Amino acid sequence: MRPRIGITCGFAGERDPLALDRDYADAVDRAGGVPLVVPPGVPGEALAETLQAVDGLLFSGGPDVDPARFGEEPFPGMGRIDPARDEAELFLARLGLERGMPLLGICRGAQVLNIASGGDLYQDLPSQVEGVLKHVQQPTPMSYPTHRIRIEPGSLLARITGKASLRVNSWHHQAIRRVAFGFAATARAEDGVIEAIEKTGEPFVLGVQFHPESMGRGGSPEAILLFEAFVQACARWARD
């Protein structure tokens, strides 16, 4: 059986249908996994049972995380938040980390992994970081890489991609500031903004600030390798 990958999603609006970019499910399917959407707004008991039914979790991109989740008041640059999604994803991240499951966080998902473990964020890069690059690449196509990251030698990301640097796409105005205990920053943009974190001592707990699901649609071999490595880690988890 192919490994089952839970993918978190959000709402299109406060009470609208569930929303998830199809690139996430397509990327998991291409890599050999079975994508299963995990909705927010359900009780913790149901989420815990969902975790029993999957072999790994993919935390997808989405709106801003409520700064109250890391002990701050909102800055003027803060965007839309989704409290139900925050609650569900932080619960899943903490439980998944406790169980040692393979976890992949993308953009907001990387931030969720960091906050769940005690780290925090820049709420708004343009107003908080002097000399920051443009990290929101509109109107450039989402699959197109627009800036370079430097990858730490020996890191999981370096081993997967085989690269010391990589051009990536970029769709965020928030970013990881203080890295959580037990994690390491393993990639940065040229302006110093953290672009990847990994949990030390775990086979596969990785958060990336860019969007490999869209880069893979555009044919990026490194993005495709990233999803393949994640799905393979989930398959090993299922066998153990």
pLDDT score recorded for residue 138: 83
Do residues 47 and 96 lie in contact, with contact meaning Cβ atoms separated by under 8 Å?
no
Residues 6+ apart with CB under 8 A from 112: 59, 65, 86, 89, 90, 93, 105
DSSP H or E stretch at residue 88:
helix 83-99
Q: Which residues form the catalytic set?
A: 107, 211, 213
Residue 9 backbone dihedrals phi, psi, to 5 degrees: -145, 180
pLDDT digits (tens, 9 = 90+) for 87-146: 999 999 999 999 999 999 999 999 999 999 999 999 999 999 999 999 998 889 999 999
For residues 187 and 197, give the distance between their C-alpha atoms in angstroms, rounded to a whole number: 7
CATH of the domain at 84: 3.40.50.880
Domain boundaries, position 138: 4-239
pLDDT score recorded for residue 69: 98
pLDDT, mean of residues 139-168: 96
For residues 57 and 37, give the distance between their C-alpha atoms in angstroms, rounded to a whole number: 10
Confidence of residue 151 (pLDDT cuts 50, 70, 90): very high
For residues 103 and 117, give the distance between their C-alpha atoms in angstroms, rounded to a whole number: 13
DSSP 206: E
pLDDT digits (tens, 9 = 90+) for 170-229: 999 999 999 999 999 999 999 999 999 999 999 999 999 999 999 999 999 999 999 999
pTM value > 0.85: yes
Residue 207 backbone dihedrals phi, psi, to 5 degrees: -125, 135
CA 122 to chain centre: 16
The tally of domains found in the chain comes to 1
